[in-house]
Amino acid sequence: MEQIKHEIGFVNIAKTIGISLVIFGHLSIPKAPLLFLSSFRMPLIFLLSGFLLSCKKYDLKSFTAKKAKTLLIPYLFFAVVSFLFWYFAGRKLIDGESGIDPLKYIYGILLAIPTKEYLGFNIPIWFLPSLFCSEMIFFAYKKYIGRYMAVFCVLLFFAGIIFKCYAGVRLPYGLDVSMFSILFMYLGYWLRKKEHIITRVQQMKRWLRIAGIITFGLLTYWLALQNSASGCVSVYSLQFHNYFLFICAAGAGIIFVLLLSVSIPHNSVFRFFGRNTIVILGFHLMCFSVLKGIQVFIFHIPVELAYHVYLPNLLYVMLTYLMLAPVIYFINRFAPFLLGRKKGIW
């Protein structure tokens, strides 16, 4: 039981780090950290999703119902709220997008195509329908075929490369992203089954873990630089550049975060935010817009002053967490169905 508690604590920390890297990367940060973060943050989140995935106690119908409640209902909730926010405030005050046809975004909500053209009012929510598709494909293969799962995931990755090169279109609900992400989900699912690996990492001497954190952090950055000839990696837009370097950088970055996660003591803050990363994902861009509005219209500080500067952007991240803490509490306390949860379970 103690092992399980520690394991979940490590996952909550990793999830909190992962979502923090996502929201930090959505600010105007310098190029070097953006290259670093973009090389592994989404593979990390897909891997953690696979780590937490349970297949044994479900059939296809019950699994579909569960995932629709926990992923598609939150997607629609975040999409509607953020679209209304964009329509009545964001496009007029901050975003400068008053010329965009709102019907295009409504169409985008229904199709959930992960592009700025369709989900530009809140592009990060592409992840939820894409994760739904990824988990459905993973579950169906695992449940009804089961054998050669690793081979299936690798073949699907190559199928994604072929589709990207020759199809020239984007698929709804992030199905094209799923072709690439299922490989990382499988690695997370496999890792959950290998409890001895987690145990050994947790039992490593502190100095050895610190050495590993530094080594894999530097390795990730070096690999990201080697793969940056055409710009940053962008999973949702299928920009991977060199696929071999992408996988290597993603793997090194994942190990970097996992070593960091088992080295940080678990506490109630990590539990609170780690269990509610979906709310942070869905609402952080709206928080940015509100903070920019306060900065410009109340303090009369141009937003350009924060461009490519670390401290203001780190402050934005911290203020976003402070703004979303009561939102997380309110939703879980009074409307948990919006996250596919029951009252008292959060």
Series of mean pLDDT values for 10-residue runs along the chain (346 residues): 55 96 94 95 97 91 96 98 90 60 92 93 97 97 92 97 94 97 97 87 92 98 92 95 97 97 93 97 95 90 88 95 98 95 72
Two structure tokens written together for 263: 């080295």
Nearest CA to 221 out of 194, 250, 200 is that of 250
The tokens of 316 are what?
Answer: 């934005």
Question: Is position 345 within any domain?
Answer: no
Q: What is the pLDDT of residue 287?
A: 96
- Looking at residue 97, what is its pLDDT? 53
What element of type H or E holds 267? none
- Token couple for 56: 């044994």
Q: Which amino acid is at 1?
A: M
Q: Does the residue 50 lie in any domain?
A: yes
Range of the domain at 233: 2-339
- What backbone phi and psi angles, to 5 degrees, belong to 317? -65, -45
Domain count, the chain: 1
Cα gap 197→202, rounded to integer Å: 9
Residue 18 identity? G
Degrees to nearest 5, angle at CA 111 with 105 and 157: 125
305, 311 contact by CB (below 8 A): no
Q: Which of 309, 315, 319 is nearest to 29 (CA)?
A: 309
Task: Give the pLDDT confidence score for residue 44 in this predicted structure.
Answer: 98
Q: Classify 239 as helix, strand or coil.
A: strand
Q: What is d(CA 72, CA 108) in angstroms, rounded to the nearest whole number?
A: 14
In a domain, 245, yes or no: yes
The answer to whether the Cα torsion of 34, 268, 11, 282 is positive or negative is negative
Q: Residues 278, 128: contact at Cβ < 8 Å? A: yes
Q: Residue 227 has which token pair?
A: 């793969």
For the record, the structure tokens of 144 come out as 């009804």
Q: Has residue 169 been placed in a domain? A: yes
Q: Is residue 61 part of a domain?
A: yes
Cα of 307 vs its chain's centroid, Å: 23
In-domain check, residue 44: yes
Question: Is 344 a domain residue?
Answer: no
Query: Rounded to an integer, what distance in angstroms lies between the CA atom of residue 327 and that of residue 18?
Result: 20
pTM above 0.85? yes
User: What sign has the CA pseudo-torsion 124, 126, 130, 132?
Assistant: positive
pLDDT for position 346: 60
* CA-angle at 28, arms to 26 and 293, nearest 5°: 85
Q: Assign residue 307 a region: left if phi > 0, alpha if psi is -120 to 50, beta otherwise?
A: beta
**In a domain? residue 218:** yes
Packing angle of the helix pair 175-193, 127-144 (nearest 10 deg): 60
pLDDT at 338: 96
> Rounded CA gap, 289 and 319, in Å?
12
